[in-house]
Amino acid sequence: MPDIAADGRTALVTGAGSGIGRAVAIGLAAAGWRVALAGRRPEVLEQAAAEAGNGARAFPADITDPAAVASLFAGVGAAFGRLDLLFNNAGVMAPPVNLEDLPFGDWKAAVDTNLTGAFLCTQAAFRMMKAQDPMGGRIINNGSVSSAVPRPNSAPYTATKHGVLGLTRATALDGRKYNIACGQIDIGNVETDMTAAMKRGVLQADLSVRPEPTFALRHVVEAVLYMAGLPADANVLQMTVMASAMPLVGRG
């Protein structure tokens, strides 16, 4: 088993104001990490940082903006001195409409946040991690089970999460020379506000509408802590954590 104790290492979590990001930030802080919480909404970030404790700090930022990302990482460096973990978690959904009816703005918002934002943060993390002493760190991407299998009417989200998988693999390869490990966690039907509708019924591949099971968010936090706590010479390249009975395997 890895050494989960963080010994004062620093983590940056994007999309940390709510849902998975907030829970992971709080979990990391409880495990001893110094945590930087990034997101677009200052008030909820401050609330999450206060709940996390252990010196956690909020850094309001728009990760789709290269200048804002540069400022974010400069702020983290000034506040904590180094970066040991980046959890690329920020993401948005597009309206579940027919592909041919999707407004371009909704497509672009998903690409800008889910894929370009993850790339910009990864690039900034590389620059910071390769320059620090000791050199190196870890990046964990929130990929979603949509990185492998789509739902109906989900082209923007699915396409970006397929892109995140490619980014994860390329990052794992390109990070080797800097002692930067990269892995991906694919999460299916975790119980958050975003998945509340699943209990009422969601569209299936056969165009029926059926409820789907969910599972507790704490299991995602535990999985991220496991990945984050691995020694530098070990990596989880890809992990799927899902509700056991969700219609993923055999979907369609």
157-173 pLDDT tens trace? 999 999 999 999 999 99
Q: Looking at the domain assignment, is residue 210 inside a domain?
A: yes
**What is the average pLDDT value for the chain, to the nearest integer?**
94
**209 close to 199: Cβ distance less than 8 angstroms:** no
**53 within a domain of the structure (yes/no):** yes
Handedness of CA 189, 192, 198, 199 (dihedral sign): positive
Mean pLDDT value of segment 219-229: 98
Instruction: Please indicate whether residue 178 is annotated as part of the active site.
Output: no
Q: Which of 157, 214, 223, 228 is catalytic?
A: 157
Residue 218 corresponds to which tokens in the numbers above? 């704490």
Rounded CA gap, 235 and 169, in Å?
Answer: 12
Cβ burial, residue 87 (10 Å; 0-12/13-18/19+): buried
Would 137 be classed as within a structural domain? yes
The reply to whether 22 falls in a domain is: yes
Which domain does 199 fall in, by range? 10-242
Residue-level pLDDT at 192:
84
pLDDT in the model for residue 251: 56
pLDDT of 4 reads 40
- pLDDT confidence bin for 2, thresholds 50/70/90: very low
pLDDT one-digit tens code per residue, 138-154: 999 999 999 999 999 99
Q: Is the pLDDT of residue 250 over 80?
A: no
* pLDDT at residue 197, rounded to an integer: 81
Position with higher pLDDT, 195 vs 136: 136
In-domain check, residue 251: no
pLDDT tens-place string over residues 4-14: 445 689 999 99
Residue at 2 is within a domain:
no
Give the pLDDT of residue 136.
Answer: 98
User: Which residue from 186, 191, 183, 190 is spatially nearest to 229, judged by alpha carbons?
Assistant: 183
Nearest to 164 by CA among 119, 213, 198: 119
Amino acid 66: pLDDT? 98
The pLDDT assigned to 95 comes to 94
Q: What is the pLDDT of residues 75-97, one digit of tens each?
A: 999 999 999 999 999 999 999 99
The rounded distance, in Å, linking the Cα atoms of 129 and 126 is 5
In this predicted model, what pLDDT tens digit does every residue of 15-37 receive, in sequence order?
999 999 999 999 999 999 999 99
We report the CATH number of the domain holding residue 43 as 3.40.50.720
Share of the chain above pLDDT 90, in %: 87
Give a yes or no: residue 250 inside a domain.
no
pLDDT tens digits, 41-80: 999 999 999 999 999 999 999 999 999 999 999 999 999 9
In the chain, pLDDT over 70 holds for what percent of residues? 96
- Please report the pLDDT score of residue 196 as a whole number: 77
pTM for this predicted structure: 0.93
**How deeply is 18 buried, as exposed, middle or buried, from its count of CB atoms within 10 A (0-12, 13-18, 19+)?**
middle
Within-domain flag for 4: no
Q: Give the chain's domain count.
A: 1
pLDDT band at 248 (very low <50, low <70, confident <90, very high): confident
Q: At residue 134, what are phi and psi to the nearest 5 degrees? A: -70, 150
